[in-house]
Amino acid sequence: MKKFLVVFMLLIGGTVFAQTGVKAEGNTLTTREIAPVWPGCEGSEASKKTCFKQKLVEHLKENYKFPRDAAGKIIRGKAVVSFNIDEEGKVDILKVEGPKKELNEEAKRIILAIPQMKPGERAGKPVPIRYTVPFTF
């Protein structure tokens, strides 16, 4: 019986694989989440996060335009865009909230212009990472 148990344990032990980004201590299981990486952001994980924030701000500044109505007057107001960077690194708009359609469309256009990037990961597998960006026009 002991031989059977030892052989069984060896067979089972040989088929278990470790997951990257997963840590188990006692009764606690921790998974590591890595943010998406903007094109051109290299280096450590902390510098990638900082670079992501900087590149996002640059992108917003470069693409920011005030929407105008039919008479050519600037439309003022707020819009909030919630989006994911999906498993393929592409932008996926979840929700656009704001009182004016023109502002919502402009905010959506700016976010959809974000370039494809390396997707975020959790426990070593690509996962969607959610972001929310407020706009004040």
- Segment 77-98, tens digit of pLDDT: 999 999 999 999 999 999 999 9
Question: 59-63, long-range: CB within 8 Å, 24+ apart, which pairs?
Answer: 59/110, 59/113, 59/114, 60/110, 60/133, 63/109, 63/110, 63/113
Maximal CA-CA distance, the chain: 88
| Contact status, residue 96 vs residue 110, Cβ threshold 8 Å | no
- Tens digit of pLDDT for each residue in 87-126? 999 999 999 999 999 999 999 999 999 999 999 999 889 9
- Tens digit of pLDDT for each residue in 27-76? 776 778 889 999 999 888 889 989 999 999 999 999 999 999 889 999 99
